[in-house]
Amino acid sequence: MSESPIEDRVLVDRGEDGVALVTLSRPAARNAIDVEMARALIEAMETCQDARCIVITGADPAFCAGLDLRDLGTDKLAELPPFVHAVAVSEVPTIAAVNGAAVTGGFEIALACDFIVASDRARFADTHVRVGVYPGPVLVELPRRVGMAMAREMSMTGNFVQAETALRIGLANHVVPHDELLTFTLALAGAIAEQDPAMIATMRRDWNETGALPIDEAHRRHQEIADRSGFSGVGSDTLRANMTAVVERAHRQQLGDD
């Protein structure tokens, strides 16, 4: 991967497989967000929109400690550049590789991604209320990941959730040894990058539009999206060729080679 810094606060590594690695890099401040880092993350997300998958992580020891309230660089939170929104609206799939503490604004960055892979050192907390700030997107996103009761507990107490608990409640898809986090997550990103990007983009829109609908309406909207995208009329020759590749890959995975 080739590395380039953006304002020395966010590093972008581009791989030949179409995967981009975005690293929050203020380790001395536990990667806390100030105005410059918020701008840098927005720029990084814009720069990587030609990738096929984006992995977001933090420079050890933390993923992101949230907002740098001691040196935010602005008098009002409303004036902070919309860094979480930049992740949430990415046209490219995103995976959060959470290597340490993901707190408040940092937690929201992770939740804005398609899914989360956690190191065994990862911890998650929503401390908005404890610092006297009304919560942001976490109030919408967290219940969709872990259910309303657990989301209420996390946001009203501000308590930390450890990696294994995050896995159990569905907050993280995987928990892996810390030293294997990036290797494991980049491999998942590579598997996504192999797919038809137009189909992946349509699937993500399908989930976004149907996820909160009643089941019958969701099926109806799903079919409309599939028909409109042109993905509902694939020929049998294409299916046979693709199935051969899928079967071969399944055999490799059983042998641990893929």
Q: Please give the pLDDT value at position 79.
A: 81
Q: Please give the pLDDT value at position 216.
A: 97
Q: Mark whether 64 and 153 lie in a shared domain.
A: yes
Radius of gyration of the chain (CA): 19
State which of 193, 211, 227 marks the end of a domain: 193
Maximum pairwise Cα distance, the chain: 61
State which of 178, 193, 208 marks the end of a domain: 193
Q: Mark whether 22 and 132 lie in a shared domain.
A: yes
Q: Please give the pLDDT value at position 222.
A: 95
pTM: 0.90
- State which residues of the chain have pLDDT below 50: none
Q: Mark whether 108 and 76 lie in a shared domain.
A: yes
Q: Please give the pLDDT value at position 57.
A: 98
What is the span of the domain harbouring residue 231?
Answer: 197-254
Q: Mark whether 51 and 148 lie in a shared domain.
A: yes
Q: Please give the pLDDT value at position 78.
A: 76
Q: Please give the pLDDT value at position 236.
A: 58
State which of 174, 193, 212 marks the end of a domain: 193
Q: Tell me which residue of 1, 111, 110, 12 sits closest to 63, measured CA to CA.
A: 110
Distances (CA, A) of 5 to 43, 69, 92: 11, 24, 20
